[in-house]
């Protein structure tokens, strides 16, 4: 394991010059730079990041805190963030914060603080004011993905608007009897996605002059089996069956579609279904949906924190950056079947 000293003597220069030549900072003649690079290459030298962070105070790491990994939305974020970081020369330290409070505390109080990261990206994580303070006190840029959050800039779609858009699509097709299958408000994921999507749904109904019926919202676990179970339950009862369902996520929507198929209910003839996400499987299911791009949300968060690192003191124009969410029409929605008199 050769050090900078070896490179220096092989190239016939001082350590200082080697450092300058390799890092590209400060004056170094072209000729010297070449000699140094060659020496470094021939020795297989690579700078020690610990030594260099010790003096510069920069680790070139960004910490990412995420509650789940194995779900499309979260996996896509990680992919986007990772790609963006790698491109910009940063490494990604992953912290998977599951429900456990203990784990959470440990990460916050111990790992993140340990001068190991230059910045933090918190995905869909409700950070308490205390924790925000902790992080801000470190002077490290923090960005959030998912929704407005007090005190830190966030990137994500407008969940209320997306839900409204989805519901409006159904209304526009002529549906009046629209149910919403969403996440459990009490078992709220952080960032209040569930209540926001419910709100968008209600907004749209209200605007259309349709009274909101309390039973028309049903909570489901936020995955395919969750949607399936609730679908079976709702659609199994003919008196209860709506003409359209707005599911709060594509996975839930696909679960509902599976349930419908099993019950012999034709989508979209007997039932229209719309979701949110544009999940990779949405196409297979012909699912009409509201597209969002978690990977781009991640990328933007990266851009912001790195911008902060590059020019400290700079602040973003907006506290919450709204990314686009657009309607993707497929074959799971259609006008309701005309009622026979």
Q: How far is CA 302 from the centre of its chain?
A: 12
In angstroms, the CA 13 to CA 17 distance is 6
CB of 75 to DNA, least distance (A): 34
Exactly one of 37, 39, 41, 55 binds DNA (CB under 7 A); that residue is 55
Exactly one of 31, 102, 237, 310 binds DNA (CB under 7 A); that residue is 31
Q: Which residues of 312-330 are buried (b: 16+ CB within 10 A; e: fewer)?
A: eeeeeeeeebeeebebbeb
Exactly one of 54, 185, 207, 318 binds its own copies (CB under 8 A); that residue is 54
Q: Are 90 and 61 in contact (CB under 8 A)?
A: yes
First-residue to last-residue Cα distance in the chain? 86
- Binding to its own copies in span 245-304, by CB under 8 A: 255, 258, 261, 280-281, 283-284
- Binding to its own copies in span 156-215, by CB under 8 A: none
Q: For the chain, what percentages of helix, strand and coil (3-state, to nearest 5) are there?
A: 45, 15, 40
Interaction of residue 113 with its own copies, rule CB under 8 A: yes
In angstroms, the CA 303 to CA 307 distance is 6
User: Between residues 29 and 128, which has the closer beta carbon with respect to DNA?
Assistant: 29
Interaction of residue 5 with its own copies, rule CB under 8 A: no
Give which of DNA, its own copies, none residue 233 binds (C-beta under 5 to 8 Å, depending on kind): none
The number of CA neighbours under 13 Å toward the Cβ of 38 is 10
Interaction of residue 117 with DNA, rule CB under 7 A: no
Q: Which residues of 219-242 are buried (b: 16+ CB within 10 A; e: fewer)?
A: bbbbebebbbebbbebbeeeeebb
Stretch that binds its own copies, among 31-39, 42-50, 175-183, 210-218 (CB under 8 A): 42-50
Interaction of residue 78 with its own copies, rule CB under 8 A: yes
3-state DSSP assignment of residue 321: strand
Task: State the residues that interact with DNA by CB under 7 A.
Answer: 1, 3-5, 12-20, 22-23, 25-32, 45, 47-48, 51-52, 54-56
Binding site for its own copies (CB under 8 A): 46-51, 53-54, 59, 61, 69-72, 75-76, 78-79, 82-83, 86, 91-96, 103, 106-107, 110-111, 113-116, 223-225, 228, 255, 258, 261, 280-281, 283-284
């Amino acid at each position: 394991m050769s050090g900078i000293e070896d490179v220096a003597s092989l190239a016939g220069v001082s350590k200082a010059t080697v450092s300058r030549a390799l890092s590209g900072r400060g004056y170094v003649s072209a000729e010297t730079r070449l000699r140094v690079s060659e020496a470094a290459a021939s020795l297989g030298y690579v700078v020690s990041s610990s030594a260099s962070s010790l003096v510069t105070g920069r680790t070139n790491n960004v910490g990412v805190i995420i509650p789940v990994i194995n779900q499309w939305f979260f996996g896509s974020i990680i992919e986007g963030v990772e790609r963006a970081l790698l491109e910009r020369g940063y490494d990604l330290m992953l912290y998977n914060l599951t429900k456990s409070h203990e784990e959470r505390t440990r990460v916050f109080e111990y790992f993140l603080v340990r001068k190991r990261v230059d910045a933090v990206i918190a995905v869909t994580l409700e950070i308490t004011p205390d924790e925000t303070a902790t992080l801000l006190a470190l002077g490290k840029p923090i960005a959030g993905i998912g929704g407005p959050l007090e005190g830190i800039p966030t990137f994500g779609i407008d969940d209320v608007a997306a839900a409204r858009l989805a519901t409006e699509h159904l209304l526009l097709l002529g549906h009046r009897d629209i149910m919403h299958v969403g996440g459990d408000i009490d078992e709220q994921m952080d960032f209040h996605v569930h209540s926001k999507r419910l709100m968008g749904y209600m907004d749209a109904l209200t605007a259309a002059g349709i009274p909101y019926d309390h039973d028309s919202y049903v909570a489901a676990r936020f995955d395919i089996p969750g949607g399936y179970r609730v679908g079976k339950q709702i659609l199994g009862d003919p008196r209860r069956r709506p003409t359209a369902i707005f599911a709060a996520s594509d996975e839930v929507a696909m679960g509902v579609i599976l349930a419908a198929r099993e019950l012999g209910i034709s989508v979209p003839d007997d039932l229209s279904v719309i979701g949110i996400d544009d999940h990779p499987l949405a196409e297979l299911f012909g699912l009409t949906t509201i597209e969002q791009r978690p990977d781009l949300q991640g990328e933007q968060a990266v851009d912001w924190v790195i911008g902060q690192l590059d020019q400290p003191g700079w602040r973003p124009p907006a506290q919450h950056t709204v990314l686009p969410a657009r309607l993707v029409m497929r074959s799971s929605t259609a006008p309701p079947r005309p009622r026979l008199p």
